[in-house]
Amino acid sequence: MSFILSLLIDTLLKVWHTLLGNWPYLLISAVVAALVSVYMDQDRASAFLQRNRRAGVVAATAAAVGTPLCSCGTMAVILGMMAGLMPWGPIVAFLVSSPLTSPQELIYSAGLFGWPFALTFFGASIVLGLGGGLMASVIESRGWFANQARFVKECCASATKRVRCKVGPWLVLIETYHAGRRLLLLFLVFAFVGYFLNGLIPAHWVSTLFGSGKVYSIPLAATLALPFYVNTEASLPLVRALLEAGMSQGAALAFLITGAGTSFGAMAGALTVARWRVVGLVVATLWVGAISFGFAFNMLLGTGMV
């Protein structure tokens, strides 16, 4: 009993110290999320893509990383792209990049892991979106994506008819409150879970499985993300705790990239609009890309370049 009590106290103290060091980033993330949500929603993202059809994969990737869409919002944009008869290249680019990051998640991850990690994560989202989109274009040109679309109704009732409040400072404040409350709750819960597990699991287990110098650590982290990832807001503080237990930053990066793009919400959404060949390309792009970026980031850390 004394061990559990001591562990709980130690865990709460670590969560408190982590919150003290990261609350400015949480606040800025909530404000950015509110601003982007109010001024750049799924309708504007769809309109941007329709205006820039010729840019194709590049425009889709830019829209994906610049908008904080939920899974349903992402699918609404995808359905709009399909209704506009866009090829698979831009659609796959959006499916790959959209779940990975957004402006507020860039700031959130910078607070937890530092700017080199956050910018690498953000850059990986762009590179993988472009790469996946280009591969999809090549595959489609060979006829391998024939009959891969699923024709379904909008996933949200609001995808075709949206009731919008008048945009103004009051709406931004309301959105900031809701985003901040959700972000803070997930941060506290999953930071607690991470630090609590650190106290229960011997530290050498984490370093043995995911530590630097282990050739299997990054592929293992990328693979385990497939079934165990929750969502970005929850997983970032959890992975932060694992880093303190001995997980390498490359393994953390691989876990976050694969997990974000293959979470239950992302995959369920993808399977509502596309069949297995397209979804398989999305998963393969994320898994291979996560491992590649994980190894590359660890190498850069080893050379002192970041």
For the ranges 110-124, 151-165, 284-298, which has the lowest average pLDDT? 151-165
> How is residue 275 written in tokens?
């069949």
Is the pLDDT at 90 greater than 60? The verdict is: yes
What mean pLDDT is predicted for residues 99-127? 90
Task: Identify the pLDDT of residue 51.
Answer: 62
> How is residue 280 written in tokens?
């398989």
> How is residue 277 written in tokens?
């060949």
Is the pLDDT at 126 greater than 90? The verdict is: yes
Task: Identify the pLDDT of residue 54.
Answer: 59
pTM for this prediction = 0.78
**Is the pLDDT higher at 130 or at 152?**
130
Whether residue 7 contacts residue 199, with contact meaning beta carbons closer than 8 Å, is answered with: yes
Q: What is the mean pLDDT of the chain?
A: 81
Is the pLDDT at 165 greater than 70? The verdict is: no
Task: Identify the pLDDT of residue 45.
Answer: 63
Is the pLDDT at 295 greater than 90? The verdict is: yes
Is the pLDDT at 279 greater than 80? The verdict is: yes
The DSSP secondary structure of the chain, one letter per residue, reads: -HHHHHHHHHHHHHHHHHHHHHHHHHHHHHHHHHHHHHHS-HHHHHHHHHHTGGGTHHHHHHHHHH----HHHHHHHHHHHHHTT--HHHHHHHHHHTTT--HHHHHHHHHHH-HHHHHHHHHHHHHHHHHHHHHHHHHHHTTTTTT-B-----SSGGGTS---PPPSHHHHHHHHHHHHHHHHHHHHHHHHHHHHHHHHS-HHHHHHHH-TT-TTHHHHHHHHHHHH---HHHHHHHHHHHHHTT--HHHHHHHHHHHHHTSHHHHHHHHHHB-HHHHHHHHHHHHHHHHHHHHHHHHHHHHT--
Is the pLDDT at 116 greater than 70? The verdict is: yes
Is the pLDDT at 75 greater than 80? The verdict is: no
What mean pLDDT is predicted for residues 180-186? 82
